[in-house]
Amino acid sequence: MLSLAQQRAAMVERQLQARGIVDEHVLAAMGEVPREVFVPERLREFAYEDGPLPIGEEQTISQPYIVALMIEAAGVAPGDRVLEVGAGSGYAAAVISRIASEVFAVERHPTLVESARKRLFDLGYQNVTLIAGDGSGGLPDQALFDAILVAACGFAVPDPLKQQLAIGGRLVLPVARAGQQSLLCLRRIGEAEWSEHDLGHVRFVPLIGGHGP
């Protein structure tokens, strides 16, 4: 039986590197953050399985590969200020916090916010601010961000999120189009100019809020 630390190392190798994740910061952060702390106690033994897991309130912690893919695509780097919408268990925010200098993470379920806050506090990850509420309009008071990641799926790219990106910054989010969810990466290349590319099909829970569906 492998220890959780050994399972984490195997996850990085078999689920991330084997699928093409190359960013050293992402690989190191995913190798460091104990995913088992972010899943319900009874599911701990499955913490390093290759899929999402339930976290309560009908929500899920994303598959490790998707977390890595999104952070790599967002180009999160040391020194960055990052916004995550849909903090859920707090796992992705924790991983981002091991790379970036400051993370703001918004979650609409207060109970999830409370448990995520406690986990981050217990781990001593002090550069994450968790905020309860609707994050579909971003966090205008804290903008601009070097990267914005959205872990829930709407029908369009919320305009406020595009506006809250620093020039050169990237926004990674799932968007439902033609009955499927596509993971998009937008890069702000000018005051009113964004490039966009599609990273492939994904499955996320719905984005619920004023700038969502």
| Chain residues 62-81 in contact with ligand SAH, contact rule CB under 6 A | 62
Q: How many CB atoms lie within 10 A of CB 200?
A: 9
In whole angstroms, give the CA distance from residue 17 to residue 103: 25
CB of 211 to ligand SAH, least distance (A): 8
Q: Please identify, among the stretches 17-25, 74-82, 185-193, 201-209, the one whose residues bind ligand SAH according to the rule CB under 6 A.
A: 201-209
Q: Classify the C-alpha dihedral 118-129-127-41 as positive or negative.
A: positive
- Among residues 109, 119, 170, 188, which is the contact residue for ligand SAH, using CB under 6 A? 109
> With binding defined as CB under 6 A, does residue 36 bind ligand SAH?
no
Contacts of 175 (CB under 8 A, 6+ apart): 153, 154, 155, 156, 157, 181, 182, 184
The single residue of 62, 89, 97, 136 carrying the catalytic annotation is 62
DSSP-derived letter for residue 133 is: S
Residue closer to ligand SAH by CB (options 29, 106) is: 106
**At closest approach, how far in Å is the CB of 193 from ligand SAH?**
26
Q: Is 209 in the site for ligand SAH (CB under 6 A)?
A: yes
Q: Are strands 180-190 and 193-202 parallel, antiparallel or unpaired?
A: antiparallel
Q: Catalytic residue at 101?
A: no
Largest CA distance in the chain: 54
H helices of the chain, in order, are: 4-11, 24-32, 64-73, 91-97, 110-123, 159-163
- Binding pattern for the stretch 152-171 against ligand SAH, x by CB under 6 A and - elsewhere: x-------------------
Phi-psi category of 15—alpha, beta or left, where left has phi over 0 and alpha has psi -120 to 50? alpha
61 binds ligand SAH (CB under 6 A): yes
Would you say 71 or 168 has its CB closer to ligand SAH?
71
Q: Which residues contribute to the site for ligand SAH (CB under 6 A)?
A: 59-62, 85-89, 91-92, 106-109, 112, 134-136, 151-152, 205, 207-209, 212
